[in-house]
A and B are shown apart, each in its own frame.
Chain A
Amino acid sequence: MADPTALDPIYKTDALIAENIDAYLELHQNKSMLRFITCGSVDDGKSTLIGRLLYDSKMIFEDQLAALEADSKRVGTQGGDIDFALLVDGLAAEREQGITIDVAYRFFATEKRKFIVADTPGHEQYTRNMVTGASTADLAVILIDARKGVLTQTKRHSYLAHLIGIRHLVLAVNKMDLVGYDRAVFDSIVEDYAAFAREIGIEAFTPIPISGFKGDNITIAPSDNTPWYEGPSLIHHLETVEIADTAAQAQSFRMPVQWVNRPNLDFRGFSGLISSGEISPGKEVRIVPSGKTSRVKSIVTLNGDLDVAVAGQSITLTLEDEVDCSRGDVISIADNPPQVADQFEATVVWMSDEAMIPGRGYWLKLATQTVTATVAEPKYEINVNTMEHLAAKTLRLNSIGVAEVTTDRPLTFEPYSDSRTLGGFILIDKITNATVAAGMIHFSLRRAQNVHWQALEIGREQHAALKGQRPAVLWFTGLSGSGKSTIANLVEKKLHALGKHSFLLDGDNIRHGLNKDLGFTEADRIENIRRVGEVAKLMADAGLIVLTAFISPFRAEREMVRSMLPEGEFIEIFVDTPLSVAEERDVKGLYRKARSGELKNFTGIDSPYEAPEKPEIRIDTTTTSPEAAADLIAERILGVWTPDL
């Protein structure tokens, strides 16, 4: 038996509060904080356990308890006894169904620690919720029903907790009261679990036999019912495990810059949350990615300057030198900066009903950096029940895969196993703005490290200057048969007549050559546009005025091409022809084929066209002739150039 006083947690000692509030406050002023998640299947008693922790720590007030007792009688599942689960299940819909459907956060405290509990659901379709809850946790409590043993769900939860980098796992074998507190049952479950844990690379876990309902080994261990158990109580363990932030202090200093503080010309501070290490005035730091170095002048706070600041603190730094530094940069210790790359291998957890589209541009947010990123077809998908690798073309809601991620600009990063802050990212749909995925970087791909940009002596300015023009990409978009090619042709003739160097990329022509391997699925259409965008960009770099005539139905891809080019060089021209008019013209007979089902994925018929929201130029072909449209476009373009000629 361990020292009984050490195993007797004092949550909230009423006597001390009543007698000496100042002493009590002093005691509680210096608590640390631990975040953990509880995961289990629907009937493992997860909500009951959390309800029990709140109840034992007296975080439940009398009026809540009265309501709880009344609810327990009305809808409880414990035969009229207090149903702790009712305390925790928050939203009206799920109280009726008796299940937890989202991530909920609960709070309780002992004298040593404040705890934030993420309560995450056990249903298969809610992998995304568990990953969300686990992302901020230092520890995971994996609940097992002693009567059922290690289930598929247990393995899934453990795998996810391990994947998200949780280093402390507790195996809480619950409902021990229902198996007569039988040691053999407990030992056999622990043995089963240990075998599985080894398989997936979990190095250590802490098994505890408990009853959330009866309270065994929750606050005091061993309970009278489990004299054979020699380990800590659940609470004692939670009070003593190491906190991730504290561990991060031993690593090199990094602070992603959130905001530049400039109240006046004399003060320039860089604000951010320190993700690892510590910093003090005088230390030499490096701004990444620029590589510029300086020294820390001061750490400024409202309560006075600090001598030192550590991982987990939000601070404002000033530097000795006037170096360029803004949101998205990372200030790091000078001699050991983080890496920079634009191509990675990463684990991606898909969280949206809409499946991933390989090659589509998504916003990627990592620390304070936001860039455009594309995800390639996954190398494999992981079956979270069996850990098998499966072949996959895409990722769907709640699926997890490993894939290459490419960004349009270099990212400052670290492998996720070294830093959650600089290795974890989210993907955001550019149209709906929904968070569609979470990712964890494994490493940068060699390609990105070794293929350096060739520094060219003759740059785009020189090319353009020789031609006496400003390069541009005139991007014609619209339905099939809207008149894109006709108008683009006329515009090019005018430019040619004026001595401008131009080139027209036409949809059909490109598909006969460069893109002849592509079909008309959504993924192929995106790749089609990506290649055309890259070609157009090279031509613009060569100083040409590029005209492209592609249906290019998706807004996200047009925006992707726009972001490849310098500001103002991408000119989106919406050839606006109503579907009924285009279909009536049906120059190539394609609409007829699409209507008869002969042609699949035809834009406007069984594939969507997303009209531009703010095109630079809009041509209404029902009121403007192709010649008039060409005049208008040439005039707009030349109007822009005239001052330079």
Chain B
Amino acid sequence: MQQLTHLDRLEAESIHILREVVAEAQNPVMLYSIGKDSAVMLHLARKAFYPSPPPFPLLHVDTTWKFRDMYALRDKMARESGMELLVYQNPEALERGINPFDHGPLHTDMWKTEGLKQALDKYGFDAAFGGARRDEEKSRAKERIFSFRTATHAWDPKNQRPELWNLYNARKNKGESIRVFPISNWTELDIWQYIMKEQIEIVPLYMAAARPTVERDGLLLMVDDDRFPLLPGEEPVMRSIRFRTLGCYPLTGAVESTASTLPEVVQEMLLTTTSERQGRVIDKDGGDASMEKKKQEGYF
């Protein structure tokens, strides 16, 4: 008898899901957001199809406002995995100069929600892998692993296909698509443990270092480039910070920390008293049911 650990079983389940999609979908793609969850998902894909490279491209729906370290790792991982990297920027958002400083919620809506829909339509992808986890947020806890979307990308939480055993129904009509979440059953701790066990490369911003910051609206923001408009009297201050999640740098709050190694980061995570998404501004628009509403509109 060989006792499989929880990481062994989570890995096996995720690989099974990745392979089912490749076997049954016509034109799959992996949404790659460069965060730690994406890093794990990409690593699992490389394991699932080894020695072949994963037989689908990576898609980064870009907002032009990610951290510079993220862009660097993105390009490196695409090279190493031997996968095609598609970068999509919503042309309308680009033209109108939509940014998180001046446009508030419109920034997420146009770059991410609209950008994603446009990219999926443009390339005709019928299945898109995403790195969402059920422990992140309450409405995600009820979403299926194979989450069906109508031709207009809408999600109907009341009309989800029952998902039995590990049998996934990937059938759909023309124009419809599925979002697939291979790491649905992983928790934040599982992700960190797996990153350590498999020595997966992640963006260095997860580890503490001295970085230029300003404090605004209760969030500690990093001044990652000179597009950051400083208010009168604001002066970037060097602080030892790290990030628990990564998104657009003007929307992502840092935490003050000295945890510069993975075990130290996990140590802090376990002893911390605030949940993961708290550092993100977008979840708070519209109060309690915010994420569920975004998902119905087509956000991942």
Q: A-side interface residues toward B, CB under 8 Å?
A: 12, 14, 17-18, 21-22, 24-25, 28-33, 61-64, 89-93, 95, 102-107, 109, 113-114, 116, 128-129, 131-132, 135-136, 245-246, 249-250, 258-259, 261-263, 267, 269, 271-273, 278, 300-303, 308, 310, 312-314, 316, 327, 351, 363, 365-368, 420-421, 424-426, 428, 433-435, 438
Contact = CB atoms under 8 A, between A and B. Distances in A.
Contact of A425 (B5, B51, B167): B167
B52 to A, nearest CB: 4
Given A135-B164, A302-B47, A314-B15, A261 B271 contact: no
30 contacts: A12-B270, A17-B270, A25-B266, A32-B6, A91-B289, A104-B142, A105-B141, A107-B187, A114-B6, A131-B162, A131-B164, A132-B163, A135-B165, A245-B9, A249-B1, A259-B23, A261-B51, A272-B19, A300-B50, A302-B46, A302-B47, A314-B13, A314-B16, A365-B167, A367-B167, A421-B166, A424-B165, A433-B171, A433-B172, A434-B161
A434 B162 CA distance: 9
Contacts of B4: 32-33, 245-246, 310, 312-313
A136 B169 contact: no
Nearest to B168: A365
A91 B52 CA distance: 40
Nearest to A65: B273
B152 interface: no
A365 B169 CA distance: 8
B141 A90 contact: yes
B138 A29 contact: no
Contact of A136 (B16, B47, B165, B273): B165
B12 A30 contact: no
Given A29-B5, A316-B50, A105 B134 contact: yes
A420 B142 contact: no
A96 B8 CA distance: 39
A367 B166 CA distance: 8
A42 B141 CA distance: 19
A375 B166 CA distance: 22
B263 A21 contact: yes
A117 to B, nearest CB: 10
A553 to B, nearest CB: 20
B141 A30 contact: no
B190 interface: yes
A108 to B, nearest CB: 9
Contacts, number: 195
Contact of A426 (B7, B134, B167): B167
A246 B2 CA distance: 8
A312 B3 CA distance: 10
Contacts of A438: 162, 164
B157 interface: yes
Contacts of A63: 273-275, 278
A428 B148 CA distance: 14
B165 A301 contact: no
A62 B9 contact: no
A426 B169 contact: yes
A466 to B, nearest CB: 41
B292 interface: yes
Contact of B11 (A12, A314, A363, A435): A314
Interface of B is mostly: helix
Interface in B30-57: 46-53
A103 B142 contact: yes
Nearest to B135: A107
A365 B168 CA distance: 9
B264 A21 contact: yes
B240 interface: no
B47 A90 contact: no
Contacts of A366: 167
A95 B3 CA distance: 40
A486 to B, nearest CB: 34
A273 B23 contact: no
Interface in B62-108: none
Instruction: With a 10 A CB-CB cut-off, give which of A33, A95, A262 has the most chain B CB atoms.
Output: A33
Contacts of B19: 258-259, 271-272, 314
Interface string B269-281: 0111111001000
Contacts of A33: 4-6, 9-10
Given A28-B189, A313-B8, A316-B50, 13 more contacts: A21-B263, A25-B196, A25-B263, A31-B5, A91-B139, A104-B142, A109-B187, A136-B164, A258-B20, A271-B48, A273-B166, A421-B166, A433-B172
B122 interface: no
Contact of A263 (B52, B141, B142): B52
A105 B181 CA distance: 14
Contacts of A273: 12, 15-16, 166
Nearest to A89: B138
B4 to A, nearest CB: 5
A428 B167 CA distance: 11
A377 B37 CA distance: 48
Contacts of A22: 263
B22 interface: yes
B1 A246 contact: yes
A316 B49 CA distance: 8
A107 B190 CA distance: 11
A433 B16 contact: no
What 5 A-B pairs come out closest when comparing CB atoms? A62-B273, A90-B138, A314-B15, A92-B289, A33-B6
Given A22-B263, A90-B138, A327 B5 contact: no
B272 to A, nearest CB: 7
B257 interface: no
B217 interface: no
Nearest to A366: B167
A408 to B, nearest CB: 17
A424 B10 CA distance: 21
B267 A18 contact: yes
